[in-house]
Amino acid sequence: MRNRLLMGRGHMPNTSLFALAFAASPHPSAATATSLMSRNTSSSTSSIATSSILSASISQSSGEQLSTFLGSSAAVSSSSTTVPTATAQNPIPGIYPSTDPSNPPSIRQDALEVVPDFNPAWQTAHTKAQNQIANYTLEQLTTIVSGSTSRCVGNIQTVDDWPGLCLNDGPLGVRLADYITAFPPGINTAATFNRSLIRTRGLFMGQEFKGKGVNIALGPMMNILRVPAAGRNFEGFGADPFLSGEAAYETILGMQQGGVQACAKHFIDNEQETNRMTSSSDVDDRTQHEIYAQPFMRSVMAGVSAVMCSYNLINDTHACQNNLTLNGILKDEFGFQGFVVSDWGATHSTLSATAGLDMEMPDSSFFGETLATFVNNGSIPLSRVRDMAQRVIASWYFLHQDEDYPAVNFNANNQGDEAINEHINVEDDHSTVVLDIGRASIVLLKNIQNALPLKKPKSILLAGSDAGLASIGPNEFANAGGDDGILAIGGGSGAANLTYLISPLEAIQIRARQDRTTVSWILNDFDLARGGNMAIGASAALVFVNADSSEGSDRTNLTSHNDAEQLILSVAAQNNNTIVITHSVGPLIVDSWINHPNITGVLWAGVSAAETGNAITDVLYGAFNPSGRLPYTIAKNAADYPASVSTSLEIPYAEGLQIDYRAFDARNITPRYEFGFGLSYTEFKYSGLNIVAVNESDNAQADLIRNWEAGYPSPIGLGSSTALWLHRPAFQVTFEVQNTGDVSGGEIPQLYLQMPPSSDEPPSVLKGFSDVFLQPGETKTVTVMLSRHSLSIWDVVAQGWRRPQGTTAVAIGASSRDFRLTGFIPL
Ligand code: BGC
């Protein structure tokens, strides 16, 4: 069996070379260390690496399990054109369909029922790439994997008639370019809990990157909101690994359908900005698998073509030379077939190549000629450099970028460069999804006696700088690195130019004209007396506050810009219909004002780009019934969060699985507003929970399923964590949701698992969600699918996914603490 494997995997891109150069990192338990060592000592080719992993697992499980993992199609041929597949399962139409990135499963039902099989498309792409580079010189090969300077944020030079590559930020749109759309940041996208909107945003982004000639978009960003004050939280998808994973999955399917290569970043454990290049995130293996790696695993399952390794160290080894995470987890365990690019300046050695790094950016400090020297002196095998180049070129073919892909037509390094910038407008009507996400991401936190929606108020005051525009255009600060007026996005490489920006003041005035409402405003956060005085007698006093952050620095507190809490209190002191609207990159502590009796409403608007004024106005006036849900917990006190920004160079992720709501639940701390929370202008009733096992008539990987059902951990192998049997729907959960109020609206039903005590899991973990829109009185059946992966925990000793012993409960509800229905997994 091992020989078959060796032959069959002969052309899998090489992964685990010279692993010992990057010693296994210290891990908390001896068992972990032992099992990790077996992976770090793998030798010269991926085939061998894989087989050594497999042989390690044989000693822990049984030979029979191994053969069942490989399945009938494992005996792949050893012919020289054979290109690897990440799992040994052939495509199955309607279940595991052979999928091209240009034609992903449809947004809705398919997304729940189908596991797309990108292996055949990867295989075709790798074959083309292998042929293309067959006669390339060493210099040509190293050119393909080494950064250089040109028009984009990152560039790969032309080789022969191959045009080279443009890599450009970022996670919310084409950065440093004009006539593009800055889409709402990841955090608001996640707050919609709406797969269709997430996918559509991805698709539109992909089309815009392609239109500008960008080959690789440097996003989405999927680091977890572990630390509430982390500067880049707004770029990511919040505090829950499942939500982040699904948002990454949908975003990437959309982006790559649009034609651009997506780049999942930053792999991995890059959860704060303070000391981001020098600190080590010390993460245990189970937490790594269940929390931080989850969105990257889902990215691989979405066929992502690139992954960016991060600045930080992981358990004392730099992320871009970390054999365990790059070769072990990403390439072997997840079966990633694209390429790993370093974050900008995150390469620290030429030997990183042997740990799994495939491309250095933005220059060739360690690759380029030095890489060639390392090959020539025998330090790095030529086969590994071939593998790196093959992965890069294969990703280009995988996205069909060989077929009429537009040339780069802007200059990110000099936006005013008229010689090069063709000013191609790629915006199309993409502002529609900006507004849609803007509205659908607003979370209604408080609404006393139906203060909202507003009903033709006679007079309105808008107070706070965040209600109006900045003094200079929508792009006053480079990379949005400043806070003036309305906060639409955060700053850094996760920003992009806004082509326009609608403020709440502007949008509300247009509405006021229609309602004959008198509007006044004070856009000064510090003139507290005047703000209070102006609030006297207004039918509604709206106070706008914000909290900003940028890449490179973390927030220093969890309160508002300009201490605008004082403005809130001054206005609330004078007006008993005070409504607070927050634009924020992450959690804010609201306890200094939230229970003020005169504060009747609170809208959490996050950061939602150009249409935010319209989105807020639509929610304020009930043109849109709010359905956004918090993608993180809002605590009563900052100290209640399980983790905060660390100034140490060793950052123990000591809370393990207990991040965000999981910690509040486990420690019995009542939050101010829990993860998943959000009010509506209507009410929803849940009923009729039904949980059934899915009938898998195709019998694929049945032995593996039986093995798992019997409580054994999954055998480890190439692509074992992304295998069909683990991710296909295993249980179907259905229930009814009825709109019992008198206005139409959307509900976000959430599914949490409560695993048995033996699992050592947090009390409740999100494993499913849906969105349903209902007319008054209307009832719809909601379906959520659960995979075996969702029902598993990571077994550190066996290095596999295992069903915990005991009964797992299913809780369906409107937030992580508002459960309406409960049942059990029939196992
Ligand atoms: C950031 C990346 C970004 C890169 C290129 C780095 O500083 O961490 O997210 O893609 O710069 O701009």
Summarised one tens digit per residue, pLDDT across range 263-299 is 999 999 999 999 999 999 999 999 999 999 999 999 9
Q: How many whole angstroms from 311 Cα to the centroid of ligand 1?
A: 9
The CA-based dihedral angle spanning residues 199, 202, 207, 208, taken in that order and rounded to the nearest 10 degrees: 150
Catalytic residue from among 343, 483, 525, 548: 343
Q: For residue 584, which phi and psi values (nearest 5 degrees)?
A: -150, 145
Please enumerate, as own/partner, the contacts of 105-114 that have beta carbons within 8 Å and a separation of 24 or more: 105/253, 107/195, 107/196, 107/199, 107/200, 107/250, 108/195, 108/196, 111/195, 111/199, 111/250, 112/729, 112/783, 112/784, 112/785, 113/729, 113/785
What is the C-alpha separation between 588 and 633, in angstroms, rounded? 10
Contact between 311 and 319 under an 8 Å Cβ cutoff? The reply is yes
Amino acid code (one letter) for 328: G
Q: What's the pLDDT score for residue 107?
A: 82
Q: For residue 315, which phi and psi values (nearest 5 degrees)?
A: 45, 45
Nearest CA to ligand 1 atom 6: 344
Q: How many whole angstroms from 755 Cα to the centroid of ligand 1?
A: 38
Nearest CA to ligand 1 atom 7: 344
Q: How many whole angstroms from 308 Cα to the centroid of ligand 1?
A: 9
Give 545's contacts (C-beta < 8 A, 6+ positions apart): 464, 466, 525, 560, 561, 564, 565, 567, 568, 580, 581, 582, 583
Q: What's the pLDDT score for residue 585?
A: 98
Q: For residue 612, which phi and psi values (nearest 5 degrees)?
A: -60, -35
Q: What's the pLDDT score for residue 701?
A: 94
Nearest CA to ligand 1 atom 3: 493
Atom of ligand 1 nearest to the CA of 493: 12
Contact between 544 and 612 under an 8 Å Cβ cutoff? The reply is no
The CA-based dihedral angle spanning residues 250, 253, 256, 258, taken in that order and rounded to the nearest 10 degrees: -80
DSSP 3-state of 96:
strand
Q: How many whole angstroms from 360 Cα to the centroid of ligand 1?
A: 13
Q: What's the pLDDT score for residue 49?
A: 32
Give 87's contacts (C-beta < 8 A, 6+ positions apart): 119, 335, 718, 719, 720, 722, 723, 724
What is the C-alpha separation between 601 and 520, in angstroms, rounded? 19
Nearest CA to ligand 1 atom 4: 344
Ligand 1: list residues with CB < 6 Å. Answer: 153, 169-170, 218, 265, 343-344, 493
Residue reference for tokens 């050594």: 52
DSSP 3-state of 150:
coil
Q: What's the pLDDT score for residue 516?
A: 98
Q: How many whole angstroms from 317 Cα to the centroid of ligand 1?
A: 20
Q: What's the pLDDT score for residue 392?
A: 98
Atom of ligand 1 nearest to the CA of 175: 12
703 in catalytic set: no
Q: For residue 521, which phi and psi values (nearest 5 degrees)?
A: -150, 155
Query: Of the residues 233, 234, 493, 550, which should be mutated to test ligand 1's pocket, given the most ligand atoms within 8 Å of the CB?
Result: 493
Express the helix, strand and coil content of the chain in percent, nearest 5 each.
Answer: 30, 20, 50
Q: What is the largest CA-CA distance in the chain?
A: 83
Contact between 398 and 125 under an 8 Å Cβ cutoff? The reply is yes
Amino acid code (one letter) for 67: S
CA angle 505, 476, 473 (to 5 degrees): 45
Helix (H), strand (E) at residue 727: helix 724-727
Q: What is the DSSP letter of 550?
A: B
- Residues with pLDDT less than 70, the chain: 1-87, 108-112
In the beta sheet, which residues pair with residue 769? 750
Closest CA to 676 of 364, 445, 345, 359: 445
The CA-based dihedral angle spanning residues 481, 486, 489, 490, taken in that order and rounded to the nearest 10 degrees: 40
Q: What's the pLDDT score for residue 54?
A: 27
In the beta sheet, which residues pair with residue 637? none
**Burial classification of residue 108, based on how many CB atoms lie within 10 Å of its CB (0-12 exposed, 13-18 middle, 19 or more buried):** exposed
Contact between 746 and 772 under an 8 Å Cβ cutoff? The reply is yes
Helix (H), strand (E) at residue 35: helix 30-40
Residue reference for tokens 């979405």: 302
What is the C-alpha separation between 54 and 63, in angstroms, rounded? 10
Q: How many whole angstroms from 344 Cα to the centroid of ligand 1?
A: 6
Q: For residue 678, which phi and psi values (nearest 5 degrees)?
A: 175, 135
Q: For residue 768, which phi and psi values (nearest 5 degrees)?
A: -175, 155
Nearest CA to ligand 1 atom 5: 344
Amino acid code (one letter) for 569: L
Q: Is the peptide bond before 457 cis (omega within 30 degrees of 0)?
A: no
Give 378's contacts (C-beta < 8 A, 6+ positions apart): none
Q: Is the peptide bond before 266 cis (omega within 30 degrees of 0)?
A: yes
- The two structure tokens encoding residue 399: 């996205």
Query: Of the residues 152, 168, 169, which should be mutated to test ligand 1's pocket, given the most ligand atoms within 8 Å of the CB?
Result: 169
Residue 110 CA, distance from chain mean position = 20
Query: Of the residues 209, 270, 343, which should be mutated to test ligand 1's pocket, given the most ligand atoms within 8 Å of the CB?
Result: 343
Atom of ligand 1 nearest to the CA of 218: 10
Q: For residue 579, which phi and psi values (nearest 5 degrees)?
A: -120, 125
